[in-house]
Chains A and B, each alone.
Chain A
């Protein structure tokens, strides 16, 4: 028999009531896990963005292309160390549900700009040597069971081939992986030269530029210098840090973080009401027992501690089960949706936030019943029993 044993016994005093309360806690934290994982996926771009990378986009809209002629002028801007570019291909593999990113680019400069993406040199060389070569991230390779040398047809929803077809044939020449555990490799890269030559329209343009600034260069000054060069041209630019670009891209889907917070606030408010009611009932029906504890010599604070511990324990049991179930679901969802929305992940930060929420909600739900128990005059309470 220990103090924890007493708390545990009291938690399970009314099994059905505790089970129902636990169920509501489990559902709340399951939802918390899922929403956190999705919010993480939308936020991850900004989190993994490098501080020394800038993105150059059309000033009016992300979907407007930029001239390829800008490449050398950007590269020549003081403070710019390296430049690459990419375009949105908008293709799918076999079925429209298998959508993921594919980007025509300059492969070598792309991998130089993104050192967190690793590819064997011979595979990169093979990609450069094969016009219709393509390289894929390890996530996609595992998902579709590809191997090097496989012919991979991609159906583009945007770009038509000069032969009138929207199906583009590629040969898998390499596999890359991200060394940043938060980063995704669920996309493909292929030669811009092939794309430029084969597409039916849009020649001489790229989707966006990515550049790395030289050490010591001021990113704001470099960005301003680039945008100034193309001011009053048909394709004015807007240069921003990669993090700002990732954030603005995510915001196209709405303010995910705010939506998640609003939903979770509603869920936790309801949870608080349910749990506080459970604790209030639990204290009300054992007033005399609490008085007996005080009679035996347990202090007012000890009684407060008992009731608060019960409340926090219920939250911890339900919350950890909910987070655990959420973690399992997130694994499945990440596999199913990873190609479309990479980065679905229940981060350690979210788990810690969850545990803090459990303790906080437990204290909030239990504090008033606990204070009632603490202030209980023994004589009155014994008389009521």
Chain B
């Protein structure tokens, strides 16, 4: 592997549920090289999504250090994290999370509102992102007019439109049938291999994990196994 994109050192995340203290991640160390396609697997409650949230700056560790692209996330303010996310991370969710009031193109254009690009350029880039995921002809459709697979493609286009280095996918195929899931996974592979995106994918599905370059297993907040894909 080449340079590290993300480095986690002794990262712990503890939640307080009433009087109970729940340690979701325990002193976790992890290095994710640039260009990696990493699948994170593990049972429910093992800390997969928490790890993904920490990598994306959506949450902060209770202790430890998270450096992504050389930037320490643990000490950043919410506003700084928001700006950092806008430029460096793309998120893909299980249930697509598109805004129902916007067309596919406008959904894809949303992250570009945070850039200095003009309206014409934003539109052009959104259309380009849609064409990369094979949905150029569905640009003016609303999410309810698209199939699950198409919605996820729009979500992927939205995640890549601002050209982030890191793509974080939380069960991206969890709501799709096998055939559509395969299409989405191939698309992610293409984004990894041809567009150089570093991808971290949380999944329960062993078949989905096979599309990644490597898979890590989490259990009770610890990495329990490492193996090459």
* Segment with Cβ contacts to B, from A1-9, A127-135, A147-155, A265-273: A1-9
| CB-contacts of B82-111 with A (<8 A) | 82-87, 91, 93, 95, 97, 99-102, 105-106, 109-111
A-B residue pairs in contact (CB < 8 Å), sample of 29? A1-B105, A1-B109, A1-B113, A1-B119, A2-B113, A2-B119, A5-B106, A6-B99, A6-B102, A6-B110, A9-B101, A13-B100, A292-B97, A292-B99, A293-B110, A295-B56, A295-B58, A295-B85, A295-B91, A296-B85, A297-B82, A297-B83, A297-B85, A297-B111, A297-B114, A299-B79, A299-B83, A378-B59, A385-B97
Could you give, for residues 55-79 of chain B, a 1 whenever the CB lies within 8 Å of some chain A CB and a 0 otherwise? 0101100000000000000000011
Q: Are B97 and A289 interface neighbours, CB within 8 A?
A: yes
A1-B106, A1-B122, A379-B59 given; A296·B114 CB < 8 A: yes
Task: Tell me if B123 counts as interface (CB < 8 A to partner A).
Answer: yes
Nearest-CB residue, chain B, relative to A299: B82
Task: Tell me if A288 counts as interface (CB < 8 A to partner B).
Answer: yes
Please, how many angstroms separate the alpha-carbon atoms of A379 and B93 in the complex?
12
Task: Tell me if A294 counts as interface (CB < 8 A to partner B).
Answer: yes
Q: Are B58 and A297 interface neighbours, CB within 8 A?
A: no
Q: Are A297 and B59 interface neighbours, CB within 8 A?
A: no
Consensus secondary structure, chain A interface: helix
Q: Are B86 and A13 interface neighbours, CB within 8 A?
A: no
- Residue from the list A1, A2, A297, A385 in contact with B87, Cβ < 8 A: A297
Q: Are B99 and A289 interface neighbours, CB within 8 A?
A: yes
Please, how many angstroms separate the alpha-carbon atoms of A294 and B78 in the complex?
10
Which residues from B are CB-within-8-Å of A293? 110
Nearest CB on B from A58, distance (A): 69
Nearest CB on A from B117, distance (A): 11
Which residues from A are CB-within-8-Å of B101? 9-10, 12-13
Task: Tell me if B53 counts as interface (CB < 8 A to partner A).
Answer: yes
Nearest CB on B from A273, distance (A): 26
- Residue from the list B56, B79, B113 in contact with A3, Cβ < 8 A: B113
Task: Tell me if A251 counts as interface (CB < 8 A to partner B).
Answer: no
| CB-contacts of A1-58 with B (<8 A) | 1-3, 5-6, 9-10, 12-13
Could you give, for residues 297-340 of chain A, a 1 whenever the CB lies within 8 Å of some chain B CB and a 0 otherwise? 11111100000000000000000000000000000000000000
Could you give, for residues 258-290 of chain A, a 1 whenever the CB lies within 8 Å of some chain B CB and a 0 otherwise? 000000000000000000000000000000110
Give the 10 A-B residue pairs with the shortest CB-CB distance, closest first. A297-B86, A9-B101, A1-B109, A299-B82, A1-B106, A297-B85, A292-B97, A378-B58, A296-B111, A299-B79
B residues adjacent to A (C-beta < 8 A): 53, 56, 58-59, 78-79, 82-87, 91, 93, 95, 97, 99-102, 105-106, 109-111, 113-114, 119, 122-123, 126, 158
Please, how many angstroms separate the alpha-carbon atoms of A288 and B105 in the complex?
20
Which residues from B are CB-within-8-Å of A292? 93, 97, 99
Which residues from A are CB-within-8-Å of B95? 385
Q: Are A300 and B102 interface neighbours, CB within 8 A?
A: no
Q: Are B53 and A379 interface neighbours, CB within 8 A?
A: yes
Nearest CB on B from A140, distance (A): 56
Interface size class of A (residues with CB under 8 A): 20 to 34
Please, how many angstroms separate the alpha-carbon atoms of A6 and B97 in the complex?
16
Which residues from B are CB-within-8-Å of A6? 99, 102, 110, 113
Which residues from A are CB-within-8-Å of B102? 1, 6, 9
Consensus secondary structure, chain B interface: helix
Which residues from A are CB-within-8-Å of B99? 6, 9, 289, 292
Task: Tell me if A382 counts as interface (CB < 8 A to partner B).
Answer: yes
Nearest CB on B from A383, distance (A): 8
Q: Are A1 and B97 interface neighbours, CB within 8 A?
A: no
Which residues from B are CB-within-8-Å of A300? 78-79, 82
Which residues from A are CB-within-8-Å of B111? 296-297
Please, how many angstroms separate the alpha-carbon atoms of A288 and B170 in the complex?
15
Nearest CB on A from B79, distance (A): 5
Nearest CB on B from A266, distance (A): 34
Please, how many angstroms separate the alpha-carbon atoms of A297 and B57 in the complex?
10
Please, how many angstroms separate the alpha-carbon atoms of A168 and B120 in the complex?
77
Which residues from B are CB-within-8-Å of A385? 95, 97
Known: A288-B97, A300-B79, A301-B79. 15 other contacts (CB 8 A): A1-B106, A1-B109, A1-B113, A9-B102, A13-B100, A289-B100, A294-B82, A295-B85, A295-B91, A296-B85, A297-B86, A299-B83, A378-B58, A379-B53, A382-B58
Nearest-CB residue, chain A, relative to B56: A295
Nearest CB on A from B56, distance (A): 7
Which residues from A are CB-within-8-Å of B158? 296
Q: Are B86 and A296 interface neighbours, CB within 8 A?
A: yes
Which residues from B are CB-within-8-Å of A9? 99, 101-102
Please, how many angstroms separate the alpha-carbon atoms of A9 and B101 in the complex?
6
Nearest-CB residue, chain A, relative to B107: A1
Nearest CB on B from A282, distance (A): 11
Nearest CB on A from B170, distance (A): 9
Please, how many angstroms separate the alpha-carbon atoms of A293 and B126 in the complex?
17
Please, how many angstroms separate the alpha-carbon atoms of A300 and B83 in the complex?
11
Which residues from A are CB-within-8-Å of B82? 294, 297-300, 302
Which residues from A are CB-within-8-Å of B100? 13, 289
